Amino acid sequence: MNEILIPLAYLVASVLFIMGLKGLTHPKTAVRGNRLGATGMLIALVVTLFDQHVLTFEWIIAGLAVGALVGAILAAKIEMTAMPELVAMFNGFGGIASSLVAGAELVKFAGGGSIGAIPVAQFTIAAGTSGLIGMVTFTGSMIAFGKLRGLVSTGVVTYPGAQIVKILFALACLALIVMIVMDPGNIQNYWILMAAAAILGVLAVIPIGGADMPVVVALLNSYSGIAAAATGFVLNNTVLIIAGSLVGASGIILTMIMCKAMNRSLANVLFGTWGDSAQSSMPGADEIYEGRIKTTSAEEVAMMLDGASSVIIVPGYGLAVAQAQHTVRDLSNLLKANGTDVKYAIHPVAGRMPGHMNVLLAEADIPYDELVEMDVVNPAFQQCDVAIVLGANDVVNPVARDDPNSPIAGMPILDADKARTVVIVKRSLSPGFAGIPNPLFAADNTLMFFGDAKKNMLDLVAAIKDS
Amino acid sequence: MELLLLLTVFVLAIFVGFEIITKVPPTLHTPLMSGSNAISGITIIGALLSAGSDHNQITTILGFLAVLFATLNVVGGFMVTNRMLEMFKKKD
């Protein structure tokens, strides 16, 4: 009986996963969608406990209890700014779990256990793939976590022959998979594969700069799905294959979106470094800024905003670092009460993972329909009286559009420079991740409002209330 | 034949994934990532089968660790996604 009921329950779970992801296509249905996914997972988990192969429960209960407790605490406590780290970490855990399952199945097989009706070649190839991808996902995610937390150097770490070492490790992993397929009884090979894949994951992520971590996290997200799907081939289990491939597809799409937003190929993110070329032809910072910087004050900006009918706010990660989201919301509420139209222009790489800025602003109760995507908001800058750029830099740098020799040439940017007046809230003239000066700061229609984003916003709100 | 069926499911699921995920608006990309991440914790099923198989000590230990990691992934992932999505709800 169970032989029919369990697969049927897995089918229900798969359908719930698909419906759950579909729910995520709109903010209104997203909460329900996520719950559908969680329900699918619960169904799959519970019916598995009735599988005839599950004989003892003490270790299962221990793992479930500890994992659920720690997971729940992390999920409840994490700050929204640290979301990329948390996603990277969870991702890694999913990856290593897949590798461990494949290892356990190989041990069973080597000890004479049955693998059911599936061909030995499918079993071993899938197990090797799961071991490789799962461990690369695990250590790669841990390094990404370390970089996002600032525990591991966020710089671009390279050494001579780095690419060759990586290729050698990748080839060694493939050779080990071949050895596992040829001689599945020799379980030693699998442990060596796990170790080699773990080193490969570290080597692959450590050279990548902190600014590129969103792409890496999205790609590793995809890998964790592929590892789960590979484990599905090990166990002959369709729900693992379906769920794994859904996640694999999702991660790939997000990776592509992030690459496009930075105008870089995936290969360039993974193997190249930013700003290798053409830097010499760029004018220096002094040459651009000298004598052209105009500063402003809270009172002046308040007066300007009083007469403005349309304001666009361009939030960057600096805003989140300064924890100024709530003050910005207060400012926009004041402006709206005054009859001013307020929008937020969101660049795809505004936060530290896809859609991160939207989460940070949503946390501050800023309605999602005021957050406008780049392509939609860009034409609006021309009719905009004041653009306030808060802690963003490279994503409003007009050289990306105007100077084909700049390192960020061709990167899609927000056309904040087209606004009648641009107010830049920033601590100093220091460059962003791309390491290049921004001519927008020296433009005729730009005013620099130097200082901490939160303090400046508080001053501005006070100045508007006073006037 | 069995393998072909599994491959069919695999390829079709990837297409379903592409179709759905491309419709997710950029506003929800972070919850999408953490939510799909939780779904990739489906490997927990394999972990349960390993941890409960009572085959030998090594499989039990591997299975236990796999259950632990996968549960963290699943529970943490769905909960934090829920927390984020609640913030996107319109305030009345």
Residue B85 lies in a domain: yes
Least confident interval from A47-61, A129-143, A235-249, B37-51: A47-61
Domain match, A383 and A296 both: yes
Q: Is a pLDDT exceeding 50 seen at residue A280?
A: no
CA A394/CA A137 separation, integer angstroms: 30
CA A39/CA A251 separation, integer angstroms: 22
- Please give the ipTM for the structure prediction: 0.95
Show the domain range for B84: 56-92
- Residue A279 has a pLDDT of 47
Residue B8 lies in a domain: no
Residue B25 lies in a domain: no
Select from A15, A47, A77 the last residue of a domain.
A77
| Inter-chain residue contact B75 with A45, CB threshold 8 Å | no
Residue B90 lies in a domain: yes
Residue B66 lies in a domain: yes
Domain match, A344 and A393 both: yes
CA A432/CA A243 separation, integer angstroms: 38
Show the domain range for A189: 86-271
Domain match, A244 and A297 both: no
- Residue A261 has a pLDDT of 84
pLDDT grade for A286, boundaries at 50, 70 and 90: confident
Specify the residue for token string 């905009």.
A384
- In the predicted model, what is the mean pLDDT of residues A372-379? 92
Percent of chain A surpassing pLDDT 90 = 67
- In the predicted model, what is the mean pLDDT of residues A308-337? 92
Backbone angles phi, psi at A277, to 5 degrees: -115, 160
Instruction: Compare CB distances from B40 to A225, A238, A359 and report the shortest one's residue.
Output: A225
| Inter-chain residue contact A247 with B68, CB threshold 8 Å | no
- pTM for the complete prediction? 0.89
Select from A77, A99, A125 the last residue of a domain.
A77
Q: If you average pLDDT over each of A259-263, A407-411, B24-28, which comes out highest?
A: B24-28
Q: Is A402 helix (H, G, I), strand (E, B) or coil?
A: helix
- Work out the minimum CA distance from B8 to partner chain A, whole angstroms: 10
Q: What is the pLDDT of residues B68-86, one digit of tens each?
A: 999 999 999 999 999 999 9
Is A394 among the catalytic positions?
yes
Domain match, A43 and A107 both: no
Domain match, A145 and A239 both: yes
Instruction: Choose the catalytic residue: A212, A394, A403, A417.
Output: A394
- Residue B92 has a pLDDT of 46
Domain match, A252 and A329 both: no
Instruction: Compare CB distances from A253 to B22, B49, B71 and report the shortest one's residue.
Output: B22
Number of domains chain A contains: 3
Q: What is the pLDDT of residues A192-212, one digit of tens each?
A: 999 999 999 999 998 888 778
Specify the residue for token string 């809270």.
A298
Please state, rounded to an integer, the average pLDDT across all residues of chain A. Answer: 90
- Residue A275 has a pLDDT of 43
Domain match, A179 and A142 both: yes
Domain match, A177 and A97 both: yes
Q: Pick the residue from chain A with its C-alpha nearest to B82.
A: A31
Domain match, A209 and A232 both: yes
Domain match, A189 and A47 both: no
- In the predicted model, what is the mean pLDDT of residues A166-194? 94
**Type of residue found at A186:** N
Residue B61 lies in a domain: yes
Please state, rounded to an integer, the average pLDDT across all residues of chain B. Answer: 91
Residue B2 lies in a domain: no
CA A344/CA A370 separation, integer angstroms: 6
Q: Is a pLDDT exceeding 60 seen at residue A278?
A: no
Residue B15 lies in a domain: no
Select from A271, A295, A315 the last residue of a domain.
A271
Q: Is A350 helix (H, G, I), strand (E, B) or coil?
A: coil
Number of domains chain B contains: 1
Considering only CB atoms, which chain A residues are within 8 Å of B69?
A: 67, 93-94, 96-97, 100
Domain match, A329 and A450 both: yes
